[in-house]
Structure 1
Amino acid sequence: MASAILHLSSSSIFSPSFRTYRPSLSQNAYLSKPLRIKASTSLDYGKTSVADQSPTSMKTNNWQWKFKDTTINIYYEEHEKESSVPPKNILMIPTISDVSTVDEWRSVAKDIIQRVGKVNWRTTIVDWPGLGYSDRPKLDYNADVMENFLVDLMNSPNSPLSSLDNDLVVFGGGHAATLTVRAAKKGLVKPTAIAAVAPTWAGPLPIVFGRDSNMESRYGLLRGTLRAPAVGWMMYNVLVSNENAIQSQYKSHVYENSENVTPDIIESRYALTKRQGARYVPAAFLTGLLDPVQSREEFVGLFAGLERRIPVLVMSTSGAPKRSKAEMEALKEAKGVSKFVEVPGALLPQEEYPIIVAEELYRFLHETFELKN
C-alpha cells in the first residue's frame, strides 16, 4: 500500500516546488501444479461450511517485545469461539503502510472462527512495531528488523503465541506476506501453511523510480528529512498525515471501489497517523528500506524455496495497481505456490471485501487441513 503522496522526478527530487504524485505499489495435499481460480462475488458458503452460532469473544492485550535495548508494546487481538474442541491457530499480520492496523483483518477473523468444520479455528491479529496501535519508537527500521520481530513473535517463549501449539497458519497482506515467506525460506519460522494476500515486495518510490545509486541517495535524503525532529513532522503532515491525502490513497489504489471508502475509515486511519512516532516506519517503507527483496526474480525465488515444504496460497486482486498486479501475476505459475486465486479489490482486499476473502481463505484451510484427512 502506498504510504505517501508525492511528486518525485529522477531529475528534480526534493525540489522546493514539488507537486503531488500518487505512486502505485506495490493444501497440505500438495499439488503438482498451482491451481488458478477466479473468485466470484456470489460465493456459496454452504459448499465449505455454515455459520456457527456459538458465542465468540475478542480479547486485546499488549506484548512487550525487546529489541536490542528497547522494549516495545505490541498490540494484539485474540478471536475465538466457545468450543470443546482444541483450537488450531491462525496468525494474521496487517499490510505494512502508514495506516497499517489490525482493523483490516478483524472481519475476516470473526468470519473464519464461526465456520463449522472438522477444525476449530482461533485467530490472533498483531500490529507491527511502529504501526497500528503498537508503540512507535525511533528505531532504524528495515526489513531485517521486521523479520526479527516476526521470528521473535512466532518463537519466543514469552510471546502471545507461546502457549499455542506448533501448528500455526499465517495470513499476511502486502509486504507482511513476503516477509513471512522470506523468514520461512530461511527456516527461521515454521508455519504449517501461508496465505499471501495481495503480496508486494517494493515500496512506493522504488517501484516507480527504481533503485539506481542516484535515486537511492535521494531516498536517503527524504528518509532523513521525515525522521528529523521538527521539519520531519511538517513534511509528514503535508504528505501523509491529512485526511485528503489518506482519502486519495484509498480511492486511487488501496480500494478498488471508491464508493467503499467511508468517512469513518478515513477518520480512523487519520487518527493512526497522529500517534507519537507515526512517521518513522512510513519513512522506511516509502523509501524501500522495508523491502524484503530487490527484484522480481528474488520475489519469485522466495516462494520457490518453499516448494514441497509448506502449502502456500497466493491471493491476487482484480483491481490492483498495474505494477503491483504484475508482481502478483508473476507468482501464478511459480514453484512453491500451491494455489493461486484472484478476488475483487486492490491492495487491501481483506478490508474492502472481507466476506469474499474469508471464503477463499477458509476454502484453502478446508482443502489443506480437512480434506487431506
Structure 2
Amino acid sequence: MTISPPKELTRPSRMGGQVQHYHWTYQGQTVTIAYETLGAGPTVLLLPAFSTVSTRAELAQIAQVLASQFQVIALDWLGFGDSERPACTYERSLYQALLKDFVQNCCPQPAGILAAGHGAGYALHLAQTQVSTRLLLVAPTWKGPLRAMGAPSWLGTNLRNLVGLPIVGSALYGANTHPAFLKWMYQRHVFVDEARLTPTFIQQRRRITQQPGARFAPAAFVTAALDPMCDRTEWLQIATAVTANPNTAVRVILADQAPPQSKAEMQALSELPGIHTDHLPGSLGLYEEYGAEVGAIALAHFQA
C-alpha cells in the first residue's frame, strides 16, 4: 500500500485543498482511493455519508472552517466520488478494512474524526481500536434505505443482483439517477430548503452518478449491504464501548427534520451516557445544507 507523491497528483481540487490518491490492496486487488488535504495543524479526518451522490465535496464548507486550525483530510469512499469504482463485492467488512488501513497509512492518530450518515457507524467501529480521539457524528445513521423501509433482506439481495446485470442493472440504475428522481429524493430526505435544488445543482449531482462502474456501490448502500451495524443493539453497544474510554469524546449533531426511522436511531444514540448532543434544523444532508453551522460546532469540539 503506497501513497502517490503529491507533486504528481496535485490538481484543482473540489474542496480547495491538495488532491492525492491512496493505492489500497485488499484481497489481492489494488484500487485507488481519492482524498484531499487542506490546512495545517493536528489532523482531523472527514468521512462523507454514503449515498448515490456521495462525495467528499459535500463536506467542503466544514473542511474550510476546520482548515483554519487543523490539517483536514477528507476521503471519497471506494465506489463513490472520485475514488475507483470496481465491480467488486461491496460490503461492511470491506469498508471497515479500508478505513483502518487508510488511517494507519494516511492519517495516523487523528486528533478528531467527523463522520456523516453511515460514516458515523464506521467511525465508531474504528474508535474502538484508537487510543484516543474526538468524534463528531453528524446526522448519524446505520440503516440503509431498504432496511429503513422495512424491506426483507432477500429483496435487497435480489435487487443487488439485478443491478449487477449489464443491461437490466444499467436500466434500473438509470431510473434511480434520473434528474427528476434525484430531485425527489433530495426533497424527501436530504435538504429542507427546496430552493437549493436548482436544475444546475441537480445536473451537477447527476454527473457524479454517471462515471463508469458507478452503480455497484450505491446499490450496495441502498440494499443494506453497507450498513455498519446489524441492528440497534449493536449500534448502541459499540457506541457505549467507545464512550467508556475516558480519552474519547463523542458529540452527535441531530437532524431535527430527518425521516422518522433515521431520527429515532440518532435520538437513541444521543441519549447514551457520555454523548454530548447538538440540534440543527435540516434532514439527512444537514452536513452540506448547514455546513457553516456544523463547521462551527466541529471547530469548538476539536479544539476542546
1:180 to partner: Cα distance: 1.1
Say whether the 8 Å CA contact 2:21–2:32 is kept in structure 1. yes
What is the match of residue 328 of structure 1?
A: 266
What is the match of residue 252 of structure 2?
A: 314
1:336 to partner: Cα distance: 4.3
Q: Which amino acid aligns with 2:100?
A: V
Structure 1 residue matching 2:80: 3-state secondary structure: coil
Q: Tell me, which stretches of 5 or more residues in structure 2 are unaligned?
A: 1-14
Q: Which amino acid aligns with 2:184?
A: S
Q: Which residue of the other structure, out of 33, 43, 50, is the alignment partner of 1:74?
A: 33
Say whether the 8 Å CA contact 2:65–2:299 is kept in structure 1. no
TM-score normalized with structure 1 length: 0.74
> 1:200 aligned to 2:141?
yes
What is the match of residue 46 of structure 1?
A: none
Identity of aligned residues (%): 29
- In 2, distance between residues paired with 1:258 and 1:226? 30
Q: Which residue of the other structure, out of 182, 186, 189, is the alignment partner of 2:125?
A: 182
What is the match of residue 209 of structure 1?
A: 150
Say whether the 8 Å CA contact 1:303–1:335 is kept in structure 2. no
Structure 1 residue matching 2:115: 3-state secondary structure: strand
CA RMSD after TM alignment: 1.6
Say whether the 8 Å CA contact 1:170–1:191 is kept in structure 2. no
Change over 3 Å in CA distance of 1:231–1:325 after alignment to 2: same
- In 1, distance between residues paired with 2:236 and 2:102? 25
User: Which structure is higher in RCO with an 8 Å CA cutoff and minimum separation 6?
Assistant: 1
Say whether the 8 Å CA contact 1:194–1:313 is kept in structure 2. yes
Q: Which amino acid aligns with 1:147?
A: Q
Structure 2 residue matching 1:288: 3-state secondary structure: coil
- In 1, distance between residues paired with 2:189 and 2:215? 21
Alignment of 1:1-373 (within 5 A): 58-80=17-39, 87-114=41-68, 120-156=69-105, 160-161=106-107, 166-185=109-128, 187=129, 189-190=130-131, 192-210=133-151, 215-238=152-175, 240-309=176-245, 310-337=248-275, 339-366=276-303, 368=304
Say whether the 8 Å CA contact 1:100–1:131 is kept in structure 2. yes
- In 1, distance between residues paired with 2:296 and 2:28? 42
Say whether the 8 Å CA contact 1:303–1:336 is kept in structure 2. no
1:260 to partner: Cα distance: 2.3
Say whether the 8 Å CA contact 1:306–1:336 is kept in structure 2. no
Structure 2 residue matching 1:99: 3-state secondary structure: coil
- In 2, distance between residues paired with 1:317 and 1:271? 27
1:265 to partner: Cα distance: 2.5
Say whether the 8 Å CA contact 2:45–2:110 is kept in structure 1. no
CA offsets, 1:353-373, max 9 Å, x none? 11111111112123x3xxxxx
- In 2, distance between residues paired with 1:95 and 1:207? 16
Name whichever of 240-249 and 57-66 sits farther off.
57-66
- Structure 1 residue ranges, 4+ long, deviating more than 4 angstroms after superposition: none
Q: Which amino acid aligns with 1:329?
A: Q
Structure 1 residue matching 2:269: 3-state secondary structure: coil
Name whichever of 301-310 and 277-286 sits farther off.
301-310
Structure 2 residue matching 1:230: 3-state secondary structure: helix
Structure 2 residue matching 1:60: 3-state secondary structure: strand
Q: Tell me, which stretches of 5 or more residues in structure 1 are unaligned?
A: 1-55, 82-86, 115-119, 369-373
Structure 2 residue matching 1:291: 3-state secondary structure: coil
Change over 3 Å in CA distance of 1:275–1:191 after alignment to 2: farther
- In 2, distance between residues paired with 1:247 and 1:110? 27
Q: Which amino acid aligns with 1:289?
A: A
1:69 to partner: Cα distance: 2.1
- In 1, distance between residues paired with 2:110 and 2:167? 46
1:246 to partner: Cα distance: 0.9
> How many residues align structurally?
288
1:184 to partner: Cα distance: 2.0
Change over 3 Å in CA distance of 1:57–1:206 after alignment to 2: closer
